[in-house]
């Protein structure tokens, strides 16, 4: 019976992650599949690029909630199954479910396994695991975006901020969280390879938050 509950929660986490927000939102309100334009990714960054700031903000918010919700699913279980919220088993299970949700975003069953890069969903996971470090990541992301106008570069630097803040600001001693933070950096670098190439060549698209009109 215990295994059935756990398997059910794992499947639910993947389903949450698999919600193709950018695809469904773009098709429902704009008649556009964002995967056919811009970078070809079904994520918030490409939605900003293709559909503009309002659509991008909606998609980013929902994608963050996907990661946050999936990571908090263990709270639905009885503490006798995986311990209370302070136990290592509970935190490790949260991490596992968050990773599964991110994989769902990368390979969504509802959209032909063609998803986005998972940054917003990763952030939702970070927010659920360690919200003070998440705020540090947000601060770096916003500051970098305001200065450079590159969402991809801002995402990369925010990803690096997570393990750095955990180690040197909050002095986290939980090994699994630190390993997860390092894995986030690696994943963001891997999923942003094309963006890094465009940044180096000066071809990456910019987003200006406070312009009155989007220039997509």
pLDDT tens-digit profile, the chain (216 residues): 557 878 889 999 999 999 999 999 999 999 999 999 988 889 888 898 899 889 999 999 999 999 999 999 998 877 666 777 777 888 889 999 999 999 999 999 999 998 888 889 989 999 999 999 999 999 999 999 999 989 889 989 998 999 999 999 999 878 888 998 898 888 888 888 888 999 999 988 887 777 654 444
- Which tokens sit at 184? 């986030």
Residue 211 confidence (pLDDT): 67
Q: What is the largest CA-CA distance in the chain?
A: 56
Closest CA to 158 of 179, 183, 180, 184: 184
Q: Where are the alpha helices (DSSP H) in the chain?
A: 2-18, 21-29, 44-51, 53-71, 79-82, 88-106, 119-129, 131-148, 151-168, 175-191, 193-201
Residue 216 confidence (pLDDT): 42
Residue 152 confidence (pLDDT): 87
Residue 2 confidence (pLDDT): 58
Residue 78 confidence (pLDDT): 72
This prediction has a pTM of 0.81
- Which tokens sit at 212? 């009155």
Residue 62 confidence (pLDDT): 96
Distance CA 33, CA 93 (A): 34
Distance CA 61, CA 82 (A): 29
């Amino acid at each position: 019976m215990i295994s059935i509950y756990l398997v059910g929660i794992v499947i639910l986490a993947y389903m949450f992650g698999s919600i193709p927000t950018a695809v469904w939102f773009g098709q429902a309100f704009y008649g556009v599949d964002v995967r056919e334009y811009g970078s070809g990714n079904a994520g918030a960054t490409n939605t900003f690029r293709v559909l503009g700031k309002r659509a991008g903000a909606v998609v980013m918010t929902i994608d963050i909630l996907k990661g946050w919700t999936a990571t908090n699913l263990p709270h639905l279980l009885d503490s006798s199954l995986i311990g209370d919220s302070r136990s290592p088993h509970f935190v490790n299970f949260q991490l596992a479910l968050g990773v599964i949700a991110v994989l769902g975003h990368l390979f969504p069953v509802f959209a032909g396994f063609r998803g986005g890069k998972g940054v917003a969903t990763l952030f939702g996971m970070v927010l659920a695991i360690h919200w003070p470090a998440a705020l540090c990541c947000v601060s770096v992301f916003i500051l970098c975006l305001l200065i450079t106008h590159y969402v991809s570069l801002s995402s990369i630097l925010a990803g690096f901020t997570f393990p750095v803040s955990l180690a040197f600001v909050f002095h986290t001693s939980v090994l699994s969280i630190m390993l997860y933070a390092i894995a986030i950096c690696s994943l963001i670098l891997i999923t942003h390879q094309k963006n890094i190439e465009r940044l180096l060549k000066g071809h990456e698209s910019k987003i200006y938050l406070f312009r009155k009109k989007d220039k997509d």
